[in-house]
Amino acid sequence: MTTTLRPRARGGTPVLPAPPSGSPALPVPGRRPGPGHASPSRPGRDRFLDVLRLLVMVLVVLQHWWFPVLGDGPRGLSTDSVLSVPGASAMTWVSQVMPLIFFVGGAANLISRRSASSGGVAPTTWVARRLRRLAWPVVPLAAVWLAATHLLALGGVPEQPVAVAAGAAGIVLWFLAVYVLVVVATPVLLPLQDRFGWRVAAGLFAGAAAVDLTRFATGVDGFGYANVVFVWLGVHQLGLLYGAGALRPRRAGALAAGGAVAVTALMLTGQYSPNMTGVFAMEASNAGPPTLVLAALGAVQVGAAVLLRRWITAWADRPGPARVLDGVCPKLMTVYLWHMLPVSLVAGVQVYVFGVDTPEPLTAAWLGWGLAGTAALLPLTAALACLTARFETPPAPLRGAPGTLRALAAAALVGGGLGVLVAAGLGTGWTPVLGMGAVVAGLLFTRGAHGVRAVDFPRPWHVVWPGTVRAR
């Protein structure tokens, strides 16, 4: 009979993953893990990863406010981007930090999966739990946005600005859609890493290079979307290596240096955009679709972060920063999902109530406007996070141990539904409703089948998911 482990509510979130409470501490890079070995942070928590989560979230929220250029034009809300200004794309080399969160996710997934495996939890059950934590918070978010946009439409509010806000809120969900793939792949990648080590990450990055070569040789940009798999799983694999204690300072230095050389060489080819993010971008970027340049930038970020780990951890373990991290990090999933609501509200008031368009980008007026908006956003976002953080924990009925087919069906429905919401936005019409319905259906599939003993199918599962824990 399969043993079920229930992670505590203060465990890691899917969007900004953290090891569950009570888990063994992550190994310290540069040392071989051994009996009794613990992280400098308190047991079960690596504050280095908490700092990276917080850094990513701060930069994500700030760029969603600072990058759009909005105005009330004759045809409704006019939209542009700061990145359309010559040279402004240089900012994206700092603001594009999503590789770091996939790295953090890899470390968190390793410790979570191994902890569950040691307790006899099958891969399907582990995947189901991660999917619940990933998808459940989207349900109330989508419900609020869909209800609000329909009510605004019925109230006579102009459709175009509402559609812009709802579309931006939907695009934020791209990360969750990709992270479904990461969750499903983790039980496959872990045993591969145990056997082949760094060669797994190298193989994924080689796949990204092959995709780029095919894309540029054929001129078909659609081929580039295969790098959603290779780029993001490659950076995630670096997190698995970190969690296993294989990413030590010397190797981290080599990773950062190699990534910097690769970025420089690739940019000199002239094939790649200087823009590293697709956030309100008005042109092609290295994020849509992901490219080998983005993977190389991720290698630089991860290597540099690990080299600085000792100092980051020493600062984060001080009482003041530790209290801040402990209070904020459990709400970062909520902030990520809901922050576009206050961003849209402040932008709408600015443009339609006060009649203030975004000033000319990269000017003193633009800087003052951005700081004023940021000051208004902080309390609104904090208050909203406190109100909606309750939605991070799935309700009790979403429990159980599904078998292989139900777990894979749940992943397909959740990932597909999130993809629909990304493409259609969280606005009016039937398409967003269908996307939300697919997410809800996927959540229901994560439960065990009623009246059926939910276990993995032993033989086929070993082919697809190495490292299965058999039911006892």
Q: DSSP assignment of 190-254, as one string?
A: HHHHHHHTHHHHHHHHHHHHHHHHHHHHHT-GGGGGGHHHHHHHHHHHHHHHHHTT---HHHHHH
| Confidence check: pLDDT of 209 > 50 | yes
Tokens of 347: 């932008």
**What is the arithmetic mean of pLDDT over 201-224?**
95
| Confidence check: pLDDT of 467 > 90 | no
Q: Which segment of 36-45, 102-111, 127-136, 184-193 scores lowest on mean pLDDT?
A: 36-45
3-class DSSP assignment, residue 450: coil
Q: Which segment of 80-84, 107-111, 296-300, 431-435 scores lowest on mean pLDDT?
A: 80-84
When pLDDT is cut at 50, 70 and 90, the band that residue 11 belongs to is: very low
Buried-state track 216-243, b at ≥16 Cβ within 10 A, e below 16:
beeeeeebbebbbbbbbbbbbbbbbbbb
Above pLDDT 70, what percent of the chain?
85
For helices 98-118 and 174-196, angle between their N-to-C axes, nearest 10 degrees: 60
**What is the arithmetic mean of pLDDT over 228-246?**
96
| Confidence check: pLDDT of 469 > 70 | no
* pLDDT score, position 56: 95
CA distance 190 to 343: 39
Distance (Å) of CA 408 to CA 184, 266, 399, 464: 8, 37, 16, 11
Those residues whose C-beta lies under 8 Å from the C-beta of residue 185, and which sit 6 or more positions away, are 233, 236
Contact of 220 with 300, CB cutoff 8 Å: no
Average pLDDT value over all residues in the chain: 85
When pLDDT is cut at 50, 70 and 90, the band that residue 5 belongs to is: very low
How many C-beta atoms surround the C-beta of residue 245 within 10 A?
Answer: 17
- 31-49 tens-digit pLDDT: 434 333 333 344 457 899 9
How many C-beta atoms surround the C-beta of residue 358 within 10 A?
Answer: 22
**What is the arithmetic mean of pLDDT over 46-62?**
94
* pLDDT score, position 281: 62
**What is the arithmetic mean of pLDDT over 288-310?**
96
* pLDDT score, position 112: 92
Tokens of 114: 């191994």
| Confidence check: pLDDT of 453 > 50 | no
| Confidence check: pLDDT of 351 > 70 | yes
Long-range contacts of 69-75 (CB under 8 A, 24+ apart): 69/358, 69/361, 70/347, 70/350, 70/351, 70/357, 70/358, 71/351, 71/357, 71/358, 72/351, 72/352, 72/355, 72/357, 75/160
Those residues whose C-beta lies under 8 Å from the C-beta of residue 414, and which sit 6 or more positions away, are 131, 134, 135, 180, 438, 439, 442, 443
CA distance 173 to 184: 17
How many C-beta atoms surround the C-beta of residue 396 within 10 A?
Answer: 6
| Confidence check: pLDDT of 12 > 50 | no
**Which of the pair, 438 or 470, is modelled with greater confidence?**
438
* pLDDT score, position 416: 96
Q: What is the pTM of this model?
A: 0.85
| Confidence check: pLDDT of 340 > 90 | yes
Q: Which segment of 10-14, 270-274, 349-353, 396-400 scores lowest on mean pLDDT?
A: 10-14
* pLDDT score, position 158: 84
Find the DSSP H helices in 155-197.
Answer: 159-171, 174-196
* pLDDT score, position 388: 93
| Confidence check: pLDDT of 395 > 80 | yes
| Confidence check: pLDDT of 159 > 70 | yes
Nearest to 420 by CA among 158, 128, 176: 176
Contact of 371 with 55, CB cutoff 8 Å: no
CA distance 295 to 177: 19
* Chain center to CA of 465: 23
Q: Which segment of 62-66, 79-83, 134-138, 248-252 scores lowest on mean pLDDT?
A: 79-83
Buried-state track 365-388, b at ≥16 Cβ within 10 A, e below 16:
ebeebbeebeebbeeebeebbeeb
**What is the arithmetic mean of pLDDT over 369-388?**
93
**What is the arithmetic mean of pLDDT over 290-307?**
97
Distance (Å) of CA 413 to CA 136, 225, 439, 444: 13, 20, 6, 10
| 449 burial level (CB within 10 Å; 0-12, 13-18, 19+) | middle
Torsion sign over Cα 129, 132, 135, 137: negative
When pLDDT is cut at 50, 70 and 90, the band that residue 282 belongs to is: low
Tokens of 315: 């600062």
* pLDDT score, position 79: 87
How many C-beta atoms surround the C-beta of residue 331 within 10 A?
Answer: 19
**What is the arithmetic mean of pLDDT over 172-182?**
95
Contact of 59 with 258, CB cutoff 8 Å: no
Contact of 61 with 339, CB cutoff 8 Å: yes
Q: Residue ranges per domain, the chain?
A: 47-464
When pLDDT is cut at 50, 70 and 90, the band that residue 78 belongs to is: confident
Nearest to 366 by CA among 70, 92, 168: 70
